[in-house]
Amino acid sequence: MAKGTPGSSTKAQSSQLPRLKIPCPTCNGAIVVSSKVYACAGCDLKVWADVASKTLTPTQAEILLSKGKTGLLKGFKSKAGKSFDARLVLDKATGKVSFEFEKSR
């Protein structure tokens, strides 16, 4: 019998999920990366990976969590189907992510 054959697919994989390189800004815990959400293992902070039809990369999530704001990201899509560019801003107290638009002058 071959050794190391994956026998059971029911085993939990939560311990093998990747983590972001930066710790949680609130509690310093590890931020666990899954396909849908970047969630802190130590507190309730979580950032959804899917924002307005765009998926945040781990790098973007790291910038958002460490600086509280991303650079200008392109290609968001509003509910009306209109695409737009915006920065993401994180409210560290609530974990809420909101948009910040370039000010046109």
Using the rule CB under 5 A, which residue among 22, 30, 33, 42 binds Zn ion? 42
Q: Pick from 11, 18, 21, 27 the residue near Zn ion by CB under 5 A.
A: 27
Give the span between the Cα atoms of 75 and 63, in whole angstroms: 18
The residue among 40 and 63 lying less far from Zn ion, judged by its C-beta, is 40
Which of 46, 45, 29, 28 is closest to 37 using CA atoms? Answer: 46
Q: What angle do CA 99, 61, 56 make, to 5 degrees?
A: 70
Note whether 23 binds Zn ion by CB under 5 A. Answer: no
Residues contributing to the site for Zn ion (CB under 5 A): 24, 26-27, 29, 40, 42-43, 45
